[in-house]
Structure 1
């Protein structure tokens, strides 16, 4: 088992709790015998080839072909304020730390067409041996103080406390005797050592944490260190540690709250053996139920059980129809083609075949077939040889027409599908007989060099229900499967127009206009690759893009727009030129405006 704990790239070099958590979680995973990595380097994560990815913050979406469990240990109110639901909804599973978070997940996923996992996870610490505190000095408070004014008056009043955290967050304690003590290393040891040396740890939560009963890292750290815990009115801490901890009433004003803390410290010093027994009891509870080793083992077990149940759910139909995936290539980038075909080979779905549409010389096809046979001997591949240079539209629609399976998909020669792509989409298609197209989300990957404009090397590019086809509602060509018998007759039979690009987008628009049913899987199951150097990629130059756009608009407009004012005397071969195509569209546009004006005049009278 290979596990990645994914950190936030934008936070690199900035002190934050997730950095310490990542280190601890790697330690816990290694104790359990797993291979583990904590990183924000997306290319490094990809090379690691994880089985499970655990994003440590809800702003990180699923972007790898691995079971992704998002850590939902932040308050639900904070997640709601973030508003980028695509990122949160993209997870395969959710590690929740409270009932409010679990309810939020249920609301977000209620209309999802596929199962999802809910498991328990807390921002905890590693298992330790109990070390009884030898001394009880000033209580220790450790915090990044991201809400800078939280308890400011309280900390300003206190005379007997040691505070640790980022210096710029605690400036108001600068120069205060016995107050701010500096920053601690994120090394998995320093935090626990400070608590243990003092013998007393203070855990205060943000109001939103207390409102939802969510614990921070601090109660677990204090329990792991063997120190006596003084906490605020957090329901989780009360429920789990009970009378083994001391509590502050944060509804009191700052002066009264400071006095209450001093009373607790005095009681500890006067009842040291009883205090040590309380610390020991907290440590035992922590080790038995809440150490990261215990929690992570539970998460992995839940993932394994869920996978078994999900596979049974997605394949529990009486029949398993064949799926044919069309791959167009000229054979020039063989390594990328083999990568694409290998992603087909790795499909969990049992009946998937690849149909390669090859344009090029016969000898080159023979060589390519031999390469594929050697590299992927277990893959079922058929071939169609397109003789001569043909445009992308001809390849696309000839490839579509040459298929025989009842379900069809596409895969560009330099892109991939995730291992559960066909299983997920077919599970939905087979349970929704009225569905014609089922599609998933897509990840954009920059494969070489540094991406332009500071873009991430990997990002969740498309993940949304499509209501019409706009630039912001895009279905990539490798992200869907279509029920073949729902494809309109004309798409499979009419003479194919020349198209340099946009042929795949046109196909989906034709289906959409035919009012077939589209279903979004709410799963990320594919990735497409971009390159800073465009060599070998399917991006076309501006003229070709414009030609594809004009051809697509003309095809789509022809079924609904009046044509009587278009000059029918134009020779067919000239209409195929880009300039005259624009003239045709201009005539259609003018005709449309004229009809609209006539209708408006009629309505006035």
Structure 2
């Protein structure tokens, strides 16, 4: 590092005999041997300084030469260009290796079956969505750069338009087998109908509202070619918000100015395989992000478990009987999500159904033996995750939109667990903050730039402490700041003007302290309580005043 600093300053360089300096700088610098005594090196440095004073032109020429060498070889522009060239070269090598690996698999498949038979059977369950989503899914399979595929299109609604659509979408490059499946009410039935029709060496799943990147199967199949003893390979995904106004939210993503970043994509599920997490049903494998060897599907695995939900986890554990899973560390699939429309199938399942199907899933898996020789039940006992804190929700939810001019309780869908910080579980008529600094993101039904905000709230208070002080800001603007009587609902109101129209309000609430009623002998409530946020009213205003005056609580 000191070499670069000295060269940048235009100095004559004196360095110790490190190979890098000698190799790069050559005769444009002086060198001392640290194996010599301090006295010898001191005299040598004196000689160099005396020479430089006696020969200033030569010393400047040496300094300029060393500066030019380091600038030309290690300047930012040079390093960026070399880095890009290296990345491009490495990428070409990786793609070449992958293509050759898939070609080997195809040659083996053609030798075992008829020529040009599919290498991957892709199971797509459909019946409840429009054809446009299905078309996007199928065409993402058609556009794969490598690995011949066949689509097994399982229609659980027996729709004539889907049968006609399958015939119209079929090409020589992408055969489509249409399978009519009865609507049993079990999501697993359609999947197992597809599994029993698999004939290719590999198979995969693709939901009819998701899609794949063009190199998805190239990436997975090349990994499979390099690991013949592994039966299951998976990648990460990019979650995409299909609703135009729903952007990705993350802590500290917007910065101090609370400027919304119009980003609708985020990286998800790029986790190395961890059986201890998986055994606790902590699923980090997206349903459209994997391929498996058909040889792992034995008679036991092909029995329909008749599950309403959780059928993908059941299939994973059936395949885990053969080998551990292998992460291929790339994101090559798209997981499409619709936070506003809320028509993703998993959001339609009630908690009662989840609980009941989870119990059935545990019963079915109880005695199966996994690849490591242990039963599912034994592993569950060994890996007890019940004491661990809850993880982030698997299906991120955006809060429901708040209508303008209507009193709305800050509860239920309005308070999304994925878009808040330091809040307790919402109640019927509001939500308590759990820390001295809390954040809640509220989505409005339409963008506003001038709005009147009304907020009903209540502060927790300990009479033995100082009076409770509360500060509430929205998108960085103060709505209220002052003391507040404890345990009494108060109404605050203020008119706010935003730099540009926005439908996202960032409500930040600070208080002087929180209390725990159980510790204070007030009740059995063991939660930390700060401020209770009850009712929000947002009224759109027409004019835009230059001065904003927050109002006092009443």
Give 1 or 2: higher helix fraction.
1
Normalising by structure 2, report the TM-score. 0.50
Give 1 or 2: higher strand fraction.
2
Normalising by structure 1, report the TM-score. 0.46
